């Protein structure tokens, strides 16, 4: 039954793990707009006040199988967006924790999906699955996956687990290889590509930005609106159209730090960037410059909305209009 607000009152509920993270916050907010606040259960080990105000919020450590099972039962969960993970830069400092959370956490979710016949799972992979031996330009879907980071290794393993659970148990798990994600409503943390968010914020605050990635190190990136759009589009696609059960390449924009700085300067006048590449530059240098995502376009109609200028302009306008929620 649909109510006057367009909300389906008979649907099972949606669980988001890692909801307090950079993508989790924006994806949960969008899912709540679409399905109604009460139908989207936000979970994390870190509370987020804004999410706790707009719908149910539960403490969940995805490594705790019993806790995960209890929450799935309590909230009658039919779909899971499993986002809880440690990203690349932090992963190099916390090797075992990264492997454990990223791999065992995913296995716990896939097992629950199998046992409880959960309709659909979304799990994000990353451009970090590629290593220095993959073609740098227009990196294809199928190419050597020999990553340099523990995060990348965990994503390659995760992709294979997803394909295995789909093949062996029929779990309908869907995935995209995200590039670096850039948003302004939520804090990034632990990623190599986070420098782009930090540069934007610093520029808007009028301070000097010291960039940890070399001025010419190009990376595939994406505005958060497009990242949210991609997750929802792949989850809403006809199962027969999902031909890749590891993870889809996904592309939008690519730039090096000096190119982002130039666009930011056009909109804000900001020009104070110094470069002090650290270990994040080595990680970034092992990743592609740009991605070929024609399979995502062909299979489920992927098409990004934002180029670099539209992204910077949108963020600048929103932030200067003080449209940033308190966390």
Residue with Cβ nearer ligand AKB (36 or 180): 180
Local structure of residue 100 (DSSP, 8 states): I
Q: By rule CB under 6 A, what string of x and - marks binding of each residue 44-83 to ligand AKB?
A: ----------------------------------------
Task: Provide the CA 15 distance to its chain's centre, in angstroms.
Answer: 15
What are residue 289's phi and psi, to 5 degrees? -85, -40
CA distances from 112 to 49, 66, 92 (A): 28, 10, 29
Inter-residue contact 135 to 245 (CB < 8 Å): no
Interactions with ligand AKB, residue window 77-116 (CB under 6 A): 87-88
Determine, following the binding rule CB under 6 A, whether residue 118 of this chain makes contact with ligand AKB: no
Radius of gyration of the chain (CA): 19
According to CB under 6 A, which one of 27, 80, 128, 197 is a site residue for ligand AKB?
128
> Closest approach of Cβ 87 to ligand AKB, in Å?
4
Per-residue buried b or exposed e for 95-104, using 16+ beta carbons within 10 Å of the residue's own CB = eeebbebbbe
* CA pair distance 220, 218, nearest whole angstrom: 7
* CA pair distance 39, 183, nearest whole angstrom: 24
> Closest approach of Cβ 152 to ligand AKB, in Å?
9
> Closest approach of Cβ 57 to ligand AKB, in Å?
24
CA distances from 73 to 10, 31, 169, 222 (A): 16, 20, 20, 35
Determine, following the binding rule CB under 6 A, whether residue 246 of this chain makes contact with ligand AKB: no
In the three-class reduction of DSSP (H, G, I as helix; E, B as strand; rest coil), residue 220 is classed as strand
Residue with Cβ nearer ligand AKB (19 or 72): 19
Residue with Cβ nearer ligand AKB (127 or 134): 127
> Closest approach of Cβ 174 to ligand AKB, in Å?
17
Residue with Cβ nearer ligand AKB (193 or 252): 193
Closest CA to 319 of 210, 202, 223: 202
In the three-class reduction of DSSP (H, G, I as helix; E, B as strand; rest coil), residue 58 is classed as strand
Determine, following the binding rule CB under 6 A, whether residue 191 of this chain makes contact with ligand AKB: yes
Residue with Cβ nearer ligand AKB (48 or 286): 286
CA distances from 192 to 14, 65, 123, 158, 318 (A): 29, 30, 20, 20, 24
Determine, following the binding rule CB under 6 A, whether residue 267 of this chain makes contact with ligand AKB: no
Residue with Cβ nearer ligand AKB (67 or 138): 138
Task: Give me the sign of the Cα torsion angle 18, 19, 20, 21.
Answer: positive
Determine, following the binding rule CB under 6 A, whether residue 192 of this chain makes contact with ligand AKB: yes
According to CB under 6 A, which one of 25, 57, 165, 178 is a site residue for ligand AKB?
178
Helices (H) and strands (E) in the chain, counts: 13, 14
Contact window for ligand AKB (CB under 6 A) among 93-101, 185-193, 262-270, 312-320: 185-193
Determine, following the binding rule CB under 6 A, whether residue 290 of this chain makes contact with ligand AKB: no
According to CB under 6 A, which one of 19, 127, 261, 315 is a site residue for ligand AKB?
127
Determine, following the binding rule CB under 6 A, whether residue 134 of this chain makes contact with ligand AKB: no
Cite the active site residues: 151
In the chain, what is the straight-line distance between the N-terminal and C-terminal CA atoms, in Å? 34
Residues in contact with ligand AKB, counted by CB under 6 A, come to a total of 12
Q: Which residues bind ligand AKB (CB under 6 A)?
A: 87-88, 126-128, 151, 178, 180-181, 191-193
């Amino acid at each position: 039954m649909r109510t006057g607000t367009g909300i389906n009152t008979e649907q099972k509920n949606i669980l988001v793990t890692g909801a307090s993270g950079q993508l989790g916050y924006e994806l949960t907010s969008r899912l709540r707009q679409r399905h109604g606040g009460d139908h989207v259960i936000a979970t994390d080990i870190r509370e987020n006040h804004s999410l706790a105000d707009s719908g149910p919020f539960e403490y969940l450590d995805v490594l705790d199988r019993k806790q995960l099972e209890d929450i799935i039962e309590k909230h009658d969960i039919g779909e899971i967006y499993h986002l809880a993970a440690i990203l690349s830069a932090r992963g190099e400092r916390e090797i075992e924790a990264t492997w454990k959370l990223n791999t065992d956490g995913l296995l716990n979710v896939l097992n629950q999906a199998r046992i409880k016949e959960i309709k659909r799972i979304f799990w994000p992979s990353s451009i970090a699955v590629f290593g220095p031996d993959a073609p740098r330009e227009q990196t294809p879907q199928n190419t050597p996956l020999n990553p340099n980071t523990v995060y990348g290794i965990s994503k390659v393993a995760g992709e294979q687990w997803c394909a295995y659970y789909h093949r062996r148990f029929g779990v309908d798990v869907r995935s995209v290889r995200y590039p670096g994600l850039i948003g302004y409503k939520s804090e990034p943390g632990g990623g190599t590509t986070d420098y782009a968010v930090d540069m934007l914020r610093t520029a808007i605050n009028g301070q000097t930005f010291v960039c940890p990635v070399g001025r010419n190190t190009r990376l595939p990136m994406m505005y958060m609106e497009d990242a949210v759009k991609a997750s929802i589009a792949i989850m809403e696609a006809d199962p027969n159209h999902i031909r890749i059960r590891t993870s889809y390449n996904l592309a939008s924009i690519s730039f090096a730090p000096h190119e982002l700085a130039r666009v930011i300067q056009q909109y804000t006048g900001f020009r104070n960037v110094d470069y002090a590449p650290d270990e994040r530059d080595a990680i970034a240098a092992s990743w592609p410059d740009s991605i070929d995502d024609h399979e995502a376009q062909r299979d489920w109609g992927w098409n990004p909305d934002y180029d670099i200028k539209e992204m910077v302009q949108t963020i600048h306008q929103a932030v200067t209009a003080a449209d940033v929620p308190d966390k």
